[in-house]
Chain A
């Protein structure tokens, strides 16, 4: 079955038992790791249309753990992850996170849930005072709203606002050149989809005030059939459409839109398009769609990033996803904090994590930082560009310098009353 972890655990346990029975009494020599392992509890979605969220995210975590253990672990202890499926249900995600802390006594939590569950898991982290690394939920509000912030929650995932700002600036450039004033959106109807769309349009409007929104479609998450929305969009005749759909939803939307020749008439800006699972799932990647970079080996175009992609691909026979790199990076943050703090105590870790900078393949200068004020990651690569039907799919991307992103972010947060 798919959970190699359990099998490996079983083999390890069986092997250890066998070794202990036969050799234990005879060989009292030093054991490599005298202490208990440091355990990371990983909650995510491993089933259904977005099983790739959990599966590829977990691989990123495992990849990081294997590297760290190969170099001797942390504080002389091995690192270990345990994972559990929430099936995308809020109550299950909360239960899993609680059980991890109270029953399994994990040292660290990694919450790789969609935004639907992440807000609830944040409360578990607050309640149980357990350091939680959020690696999938991108909704700005999760860490930006000071009234709801918790000291223990950190985010190593993109923030919709950052992507939206760059996307809006990029889209403004394209819109001006082509005179695209009539905009549309098609995003999933929950916190993430709403926030992402609002922030993109805010940024677009700031750089291109002539734009107007002529219609918005809000299909539910995991909607199987978008035809009703697509035909409505065709009638409303926008010049361009922004979409925060993701994973299988996005693929289905693009396939069904293709049937209507939608993308011949409407420029498509999909923030989540350029990720390998999606590009490979699409039977034909349409040329000329606009996409934000999720994970691409060429964004940033550095040797560190390329090497990360290659090493990962060698191990898993597929390229990493954005989620893989976010979990990988989240683990780097946690590991570095444990090293710095010399412990796994929550309060020590919080101090170590705030403002922490680590090396990361997607850092614009090779590093990323957990901002002290709101515990969210900054300085990661964001590029927007156009698709082509074959690899490398998004050959050229344009970006925006981070000081400009941060300035615009500040203005937006002010408008929300969050700073």
Chain B
């Protein structure tokens, strides 16, 4: 699918704005097919804004390229139909809909027209989904909600998954399971851009990392290189 040899997703010189306030400054990053890339940064650094820039939920200047096509400024539903699956940080499950209904809303074919994920397949990967089917979204625990929102996004067969702080507020055991899940998804052909404050979790699953601070990208490198830079981690991350 990746035509022209470019990365699957690429931000080049992106500025983002909330009204007049600028939240991102000249942000550039790439995600290649089959990669797990993590965006690290403190609270308020600009991680979520970066994701929203891709998902079409914030005003941007600069280029957001998906498979070499510029999607900056497209409406959110169009970006989603081009294969971007966005899982926001605060979960945003539909509280009055059952789990089954939450999943049903998101059903659509992938960008290549194929259907990779079905409810049956998802229930196989997320064994806890099946018994929750008839429960209202609002009645689930935080961990359950996180899994349902990820599963919900997968129903739309994305090939890029944007996971905004998936481990936030989850018990350690669940974070561990989550790491396994992320890797499994990558193996199933979904490329993943992840944001995290939980450095341990991030470094465990990701191939490459970016560090963002005050809306600027301050670091780019492989996870292994970053491990050898405790100074940088101290300066930009709460470690």
A and B touch in the complex (CB under 8 A): no
